[in-house]
Amino acid sequence: MVSKAFQKTPQKKSYDIVIIGGAIMGSATSWFLSKNKNFGGSILVIERDPTYQFSSTARTNSCIRQQFSRELNIRISQYTAQFIKNFQENLEDDRVPKLGIQNYGYMYLADTKDKAKSLRTIQKTQLKAGASTILMNPDEIKSKYPFYNVSDIFLGSINKVDEGYWDGGTVFDWLRRSSIDNGVEYISNEVTGINQNSNGNRVEEIVLKSGEVINCGVVVNAAGPRASKISEMLNIKIPVEPRKRYTWVFSAECPLEVDLPLTIDPSGIHVRQDGPDTYLAGSKGFIDDPVNFDDFSFEEDLWEDYVWPKIANRIPAFEAIKVKSEWAGHYAYNTLDQNAIIGPHPSISNFMFINGFSGHGLQQAPAMGRGMSELLIYGKYQSLDLSPFGYDRILNGTPFLEEAII
C-alpha cells in the first residue's frame, strides 16, 4: 500500500541531502541523519515504487549472521544484532515493537578437504572478532541434528548467538516511518538525470521524471540493484548488477524434530526453518547472469530438477514436501568482490555510494546507515571504520573479497 506520506512532487526546490532510493539503505541513512542533533538540514528521499513490491528489501529472506570471512563484516552484523534487540529503545518510541533474533544459527557444510580448511581459517577470524562459531565433525552434526545426511561431509560450522531470522520488514517500516516523523520528505518519483557544475566536480541538480529540477547539497545513491543506472547518469561505472535469487516456502509431511539451522549446502542452496511447520529454501538460477531490472520471472524447472533433489539428499525427510509459495528477487551484486561500496566518489565529492551489498544488505543496513550519516555530518566515520568499502578499490580494481556469500 502506498504510504500517505508519499507525494509525487517535492515541497521545495532545494535540499541539503537527496537520497535516491527509499528502501532499507535509503531509510536507514535518512533515519540516522534525521535523529542526529548535529544535523539540522533538509532531506529528500526519492522512491520510484512506494509499494516496494519488487525491492530487494521486500524480497529478502531476512536473516543475520556473523559467519563472514572479513572481520569488518562480522563487526557490522554484531552492531545490527544489538540494534535489533534494542529496537524500541533505539527509536525512542513506545509504538515500536520489541524485536529479537530467532537463533537457530547458520550451518555451513564442507564436502571437500579444501572447503573444510576454509571453514577452519574463517572460524579463526570470527572468534577473534568475538563470534561464537563452533566447528562440528560429521558425527557431532549427526548427533545434534539427526535429520542431516552427512555421508559426504568433512566438517560443519555453526554459530547460534545472534544468528538466524529477524523481522527485517518491521525494522524497515519503522525506520522509514520514524524518518518521516523526524521531518524527512519521501516522494514517489524517479530520477531521470543528474546535472553537474561547470567544473564537473560536484552534483548540483537532480532531474525528476515529473519534470522538476531539484538543487541538492549531497546526493546519496541508494538505488539497490539499479545503482549502476543512477551512477551512469554521471558517466560513473560501478560493478553492481541485478542477479536473480529464488525462494520457496514449503511444508514437510514429517516435520523435523528440532529447528532447522539456515543450512548452506555445498551445492550453494540454502534451506532453513521458516514457521513452526514450514521451511524456506533459496537458490540462484541455472545460469547466474545479470538480468533486466524488471525481470522477476521464475525458472519453473529449477525446483523440480535441481533444488528439491539437493535438499532431499541433504535432509531425507524432505522427500515428501509441498510448496506453499515462491518468488524471485534481485541481489544488488558487486561483481568485483561481493562487498558493499560506500562513501564519496573521489572526483565528484558530493556524490555518495551505498551500494552493492550482494545479498547481505538488510543485515548491514543499520551500520551502513549510521556510517553514511557520520560521513555526511562529520566528514569521517566515527563508529566503525568503513573505509575498506570505499570507491577507490573499484577504480583500482583491488578486491576486498568476502568469501562467505550465499
State which H helix or E strand residue 360 sits in.
none
DSSP conformation class of 261: P
Cβ–Cβ < 8 Å for 46, 191: yes
User: Does domain 97-165+241-333 match CATH 3.30.9.10?
Assistant: yes
Which of 349, 324, 267, 353 has its CA nearest to residue 21? 353
Stretch(es) of the chain classified as CATH 3.50.50.60? 14-60+168-239+336-396
Print pLDDT tens along the chain (406 aa).
334 558 999 999 999 999 999 999 999 999 999 999 999 999 999 999 999 999 999 999 999 999 999 999 999 999 999 999 999 999 999 999 999 999 999 999 999 999 999 999 999 999 999 999 999 999 999 999 999 999 999 999 999 999 999 999 999 999 999 999 999 999 999 999 999 999 999 999 999 999 999 999 999 999 999 999 999 999 999 999 999 999 999 999 999 999 999 999 999 999 999 999 999 999 999 999 999 999 999 998 999 999 999 999 999 999 999 999 999 999 999 999 999 999 999 999 999 999 999 999 999 999 999 999 999 999 999 999 999 999 999 999 999 999 998 9
Residue 239 CA to its chain's centroid (Å): 16
Phi/psi region, residue 268 (left: phi>0; alpha: psi -120 to 50; beta: rest), is: left
Determine how many CB atoms are found less than 10 A away from the CB of residue 273: 21
Q: 168-181 and 24-35 are packed helices; what angle lies between their axes, rounded to 10 degrees?
A: 40
Domain with CATH 3.30.9.10 in the chain: 97-165+241-333
Q: Please, what is the end-to-end C-alpha distance for the chain in angstroms? A: 30
Q: Which of 179, 166, 141, 159 is nearest to 36 (CA)?
A: 179
**Furthest-apart CA atoms within the chain: distance in Å:** 68
CATH superfamily of 14-60+168-239+336-396: FAD/NAD(P)-binding domain (3.50.50.60)
Strands 213-221 and 191-196 come out as unpaired
| Alpha carbon distance 394, 398 (integer Å) | 7
Name the E strands within 170-236.
Answer: 185-188, 191-196, 203-208, 213-221
